[in-house]
Amino acid sequence: MVTIKDLAAVLKVSPSTVGRALAGDRRISDEMKLKVQHAAEEAGYVANRAARMMRGVSSNLVGLIVPDIRNSFYSTIAHALSRCLLSANYQLTLCETDDDRTLELRHIRELTSVNVAGIILVPSAKPLPEAARLLKMTPHIQLLRKQASLGEQWFGIDDTKAIFEAARHVLELGHRRVAYIGGTGELPTGMARIQGFRDAVAASGAEVEQMEELGAPSSTEFGREAVRRLLERKRPPTALVVGAVQNTLGAIDELNRLGIQVPSQLSIVGFGDELGYRWWGPGLTTVRLPVSELATACGLWFLHQLQNKSQIGLPYSSISPPDLIVRNSAGPPPA
């Protein structure tokens, strides 16, 4: 195995010079860094991360902690962040929690134990106190969800506005029996979206029979079950507003299975704009979320933080606005 001493012998310089050049030390000239890099590539040198960590040197790894990578919402975030961080020679490593705070803590422990450069996380509903303690010692930023115990740096979406606009759309079409399917109020995003639905109903000034089916936002099965329960009511809704990506997939799948005609029998507004939504049935009216743009902005800000250590931990929030994409899945209520 090629070592730093081997490279130093080839270049006729000290091992410390080679080490500093590989670490990007400002005291080493660009010319010397280039020579060392070429020599390392030709010799097949691989950095010993374990040795670097024992010396307390941060790695070039950035941890991303998300609830469910099967959700296209989070896979899009991972892709955008990976490309952004790679441009600055950082590598993304992915952890999945399934919204389990014990598993979340385990991931945070493992990432901090290998001296990651930083952590970007979508936190669980109630992070454990030890998770907050460990994160205080590591550069980190929250994405989409914000938990006060984990700090004051956050990139998110205006969830209240997202569902407010979706609900207002069907209310303006004349619907007065409207249902909302989404996550519970345990998560800050879930509560904000429920509030958006209720605010839209209140702002309409009309007598609206509103229904709410609240459960796991990352579950397609909950979306299916919620649709079945709503349609089994004596007075079922004439319009559905869905407030989660996976719930939307489950809801439209169940409508297909039941043979419900959209929008003549039932109107629906989804959440998230999957590629196939424009071709689903009459075309799904849905809330488009600026996920890729949000993740890229978060990544660039995080890189700025890593390069300017004095600003790490200072309060910062960025809220991106959603867009309502109007297609043909929502129309006037049935006569």
Q: Rounded CA gap, 267 and 238, in Å?
A: 6
Fold type of domain 61-157+292-320: Rossmann fold (3.40.50)
pLDDT value at residue 20? 82
Per residue, the 3-state secondary structure of 73-99, as one string, reads: HHHHHHHHHHHHHHCCCCEEEEEECCC
Q: Rounded CA gap, 234 and 108, in Å?
A: 48
pLDDT value at residue 46? 66
pLDDT value at residue 108? 95
Task: Summarize pLDDT for 201-246 with one digit per residue, the tens.
Answer: 999 999 999 999 999 888 999 999 999 999 999 999 999 999 999 9
Mean of pLDDT values over 267-295: 94
pLDDT of 159 higher than 50: yes
Would you place residue 96 in the very low, low, confident or very high pLDDT band (cuts 50, 70, 90)? very high
Least confident of 15-29, 230-244, 293-307: 15-29
Q: Rounded CA gap, 183 and 74, in Å?
A: 16
Task: Summarize pLDDT for 44-89 with one digit per residue, the tens.
Answer: 776 655 444 444 445 789 999 999 988 888 999 999 999 999 988 8
CATH class of 159-289: alpha beta
Q: Establish whether domains 61-157+292-320 and 159-289 are of one fold.
A: yes
Mean of pLDDT values over 275-283: 93
Domain positions in the chain are: 4-47, 61-157+292-320, 159-289
What mean pLDDT, rounded, does the chain reach?
90
Go through 227-260 and write b for each residue having 16 or more CB atoms within 10 A of its CB, e for each that does not: beebbeeeebbbbbbbbbbbbbbbbbbbbeeeeb
Would you place residue 248 in the very low, low, confident or very high pLDDT band (cuts 50, 70, 90)? very high
Q: Rounded CA gap, 122 and 276, in Å?
A: 26
pLDDT value at residue 36? 86
Q: Are strands 118-121 and 140-143 parallel, antiparallel or unpaired?
A: parallel
pLDDT value at residue 65? 97
Could you give phi then psi for residue 178, rounded to 5 degrees? -125, 135
pLDDT of 156 higher than 90: yes
